Structure 1
């Protein structure tokens, strides 16, 4: 009989576009989410935790950067007993589920409904450096009011969130624009029916990469890119491109000058004038709350995602410099964005429901704080109670019980206790500040040995013999003083 082949072992590897998070990374994210949630809650928003799975129909066609939802989501078909198959998908953001929740429960929810939500989202797109298929979002939205006070409040709250998590004033700016102003610019251009508005929008979105001259070339006759390849232009006349360039370069020394320049860019367009009036109102409301241009400013160059929104849009950008992979200086860039989207709930209800919200990229914010050295240092591990006699495990568990009751992180060594050196190596790998030792002799005398592992490591690296004598790294204390001495050592390094 032929020998049965063994099934191959599965590869122990993370799927492409995903990653694992350990200890400090998970803790840092949890702390940041708690800080942001505290700001959201202070502003009167309520928590919502919706399903991670939605129907593809409910997700709709609002996924940025792709033409069809199926191309950008992880979807599968689920059949019932009649072989009818519904397509389900992992959520790609937290906004589409909110639209479904509001439409489903609107009779039981207050109007306006103010909610915040935090959690992972999934996008089935090509991964790249720092770009994963699963990442965290942290959203806050107000549904059911068209008041510009809601938009101004979101901007103020975003500013407060950045400062709360450790981005100081001067290291960020929240930039505000309005889709209606862009619509006014498109009207002022006098585009014919045969001219592609989407091509114009895509060109506008390249402003931060190619600049004023590049946008003008791409709107008209075309240009050569950095590689020398020629990119065809949209084919507009030079005078048609003028309103777009005026719009993109209209930022002035202050909000008043910027708004005046925008009025010139939109000409006689009624929708453009409406957008400018909304920006004026937002600026006045923010000024009344003390949020000046050092934190929030009107900036027409914010064009990213304009196709998704129906009114004001905003983006939080970190302004400090970092070094890229090639050692070149660059600004860190955007960590949050949002705006007004008045058409999303209408997909379910048939009625327009005004809404505005913001989404903070938590992973991007964490990366920024690590770049600035504000988080990411060596994490302190637990106190390790060593095991000198495995028959006295109850004594050692009593010690960690006392330490934990006092709020001190602690654990008993649970490996093979025969080799004491291995216990010390374990404590070192754990980043433990203190090791507790109680052998039979210490037990008989009612004392414990407490080893300061932080000081011991420093002495081993570069201390002199005199420094060793001045401050010992191991103490013998009465058993009843265990907690007090451990706390004293840990607090000395806080």
Structure 2
């Protein structure tokens, strides 16, 4: 009988494209999500926690094929080896597709355990991990967190304005001050109108429209000259690779470039100046928009100037869409959003109409929004650049239709949690140290009940605490454990202290500071450790914790 081959041990490593999160990282993220949820709740949105697994048909974006049924998503087929295989299932790739399924399922059907169905409009927020089966890279993982808020069931532009206002409030709530962010608003209908006015609407123009969308989506990277090449004959990059262009005439291309550059044209006009920024180029002025709070324009107040600025951009867009019905509808929607925001005090210093926002225009059906952090950072190559986008969203009126056959209006926003956390850490806004638990050391194995009583008192007082449960033989190892846990305090009580009904309280935070610069005599004096009556344990620990947080 052949000897059975020994099963190799599994590798203890994280799968490619995934990572583990520990202690402080998890606490920091939870703290930020709690702050975001507080804003969403204040705006009247309800929490929704949907399944992490959906049918591939419900996700709708990556239908299975023969060669790679899980393209784009992590998917599997139930009972794949049976004569009648089951459904294809997949981990959700975002939080929007599950919302569409939930709304279609419960719009006219009682919710589980309740008598009522979902209200219309339905306002919900959701937070959690999503999974994408894509090639990982630096800072790009296959599992990441999203934080969404959506309103389903209303055509009112007030819903879009509210989403933008709520996003501004959210950024400020988590620690991004005004001047460090800007929310830019555009509208897919306006682009459709510009394409129509340029002769690119209707059947037979799908290829050209696709190239145009991809070209203007590269505006940030290629600039106007590079985009112009893609709109015309094509472009050869630095490696020599050639990308075929849309083959537009110069008149068609100029109309499209005028659309994405409408903000620069408005800013460079004599109608507007930015106080203290005279003499700058239109591009420089454009970058300053939203970062300054005072505009000078014919003696207008800030609010009047903000309204005028957005209406000036809308007037420029109205000219570009010509007589296109859908384009004019899009311009009217942008004007409504701008006016609704201005009435609430959200001007161009926070939220601005900006036709250069083109990301996602292939997916959204109306207004689109993007939140960009405007402060400078240094990248991995030592280059200074702006941090960039941390959130995006817009109106998607066709998603629920896949389930119901009827158009259901919807609009929403998605925040990239990991990017926002990275931004807060770069700005030093999430640097608060997360302390570990108070550690009650064990000096006598036979007195474990006494130590458990101490830790119970601390926990009942709301103080995070634990008893050391390792081998207590070496006391130094217990203190090393407390240091590794980031513990602020260690509690010590040997037999002598127990007889005198006292405890030793060791302030580990103060002790670490003293150790950095103290002399040997100062260190021996142990000012970070003091003896207190057993009954004062909780009060003394509270004093140390309060001092460390202050």
Does the 8 A contact of 1:315 with 1:338 survive in 2?
Answer: yes
Out of 127, 135, 157, the position equivalent to 1:126 is: 135
The answer on 1:314 being equivalent to 2:372 is no
Paired residue for 2:538?
Answer: 483
TM-score (norm 2): 0.86
Q: Deviations over 1:402-439 (max 9, x none)?
A: 11111111111111000011111111111111111100
Paired residue for 1:447?
Answer: 502
Ranges in structure 1 where 5+ consecutive residues have no aligned partner: none
Q: Deviations over 1:377-416 (max 9, x none)?
A: 5421111111000110000011111111111111111110
Out of 230, 249, 252, the position equivalent to 1:240 is: 252
- Counterparts of residues 290-305 of structure 1 (less than 5 Å): 290-305=345-360
Out of 153, 160, 163, the position equivalent to 1:144 is: 153
Paired residue for 1:221?
Answer: 233
Out of 264, 267, 277, the position equivalent to 2:322 is: 267
The answer on 1:78 being equivalent to 2:78 is yes
**Hey, what's the Cα distance between the residues in 1 that align with 2:482 and 2:77?**
49
How far the C-alpha of 1:302 sits from its partner, in A, is 0.5
How far the C-alpha of 1:76 sits from its partner, in A, is 0.7
The answer on 1:380 being equivalent to 2:406 is no
Paired residue for 2:104?
Answer: 103
Paired residue for 1:90?
Answer: 91
How many equivalent residue pairs? Answer: 490
Paired residue for 1:391?
Answer: 446
Paired residue for 1:34?
Answer: 34
Paired residue for 1:51?
Answer: 51
**Hey, what's the Cα distance between the residues in 2 that align with 1:144 and 1:455?**
57
Q: Deviations over 1:5-52 (max 9, x none)?
A: 321000000011111000011111111111111111111111111111
Question: What's the C-alpha RMSD, in Å, of the aligned pairs?
Answer: 1.9
**Hey, what's the Cα distance between the residues in 1 that align with 2:391 and 2:486?**
34
Does the 8 A contact of 2:211 with 2:245 survive in 1?
Answer: no
Paired residue for 1:10?
Answer: 10
How far the C-alpha of 1:69 sits from its partner, in A, is 8.3
Paired residue for 1:115?
Answer: 124
**Hey, what's the Cα distance between the residues in 1 that align with 2:528 and 2:38?**
41
Does the 8 A contact of 1:92 with 1:121 survive in 2?
Answer: yes
How far the C-alpha of 1:239 sits from its partner, in A, is 1.2
How far the C-alpha of 1:463 sits from its partner, in A, is 2.4
Q: Deviations over 1:220-247 (max 9, x none)?
A: 1223323344433221111110111000
Deviates more, 1:79-88 or 1:442-451: 79-88
Secondary structure of the structure 1 residue equivalent to 2:362: helix
Paired residue for 2:271?
Answer: none
Does the 8 A contact of 1:335 with 1:360 survive in 2?
Answer: yes
Q: Deviations over 1:293-333 (max 9, x none)?
A: 11100000110010111000001111111111111111111
The answer on 1:329 being equivalent to 2:355 is no
How far the C-alpha of 1:455 sits from its partner, in A, is 1.6
Secondary structure of the structure 2 residue equivalent to 1:129: coil
TM-score (norm 1): 0.95
Paired residue for 2:25?
Answer: 25
Q: Deviations over 1:348-370 (max 9, x none)?
A: 11111111111111111111111
Does the 8 A contact of 1:62 with 1:308 survive in 2?
Answer: no
The answer on 1:473 being equivalent to 2:474 is no
The answer on 1:456 being equivalent to 2:457 is no
Paired residue for 1:60?
Answer: 60
**Hey, what's the Cα distance between the residues in 1 that align with 2:26 and 2:531?**
36
How far the C-alpha of 1:492 sits from its partner, in A, is 1.2
Paired residue for 1:169?
Answer: 178
Out of 194, 203, 211, the position equivalent to 2:223 is: 211
**Hey, what's the Cα distance between the residues in 1 that align with 2:69 and 2:410?**
22
**Hey, what's the Cα distance between the residues in 2 that align with 1:284 and 1:363?**
33
**Hey, what's the Cα distance between the residues in 1 that align with 2:48 and 2:543?**
42
Deviates more, 1:196-205 or 1:305-314: 196-205
How far the C-alpha of 1:466 sits from its partner, in A, is 7.8
Does the 8 A contact of 1:159 with 1:174 survive in 2?
Answer: yes
Alpha-carbon spacing, 1:280–1:62, altered in 2? closer, same or farther (3 Å): farther
Out of 419, 433, 447, the position equivalent to 1:364 is: 419
Secondary structure of the structure 2 residue equivalent to 1:456: helix
Paired residue for 2:313?
Answer: 258
Does the 8 A contact of 1:60 with 1:69 survive in 2?
Answer: no
Alpha-carbon spacing, 1:174–1:287, altered in 2? closer, same or farther (3 Å): same
Does the 8 A contact of 1:152 with 1:282 survive in 2?
Answer: yes
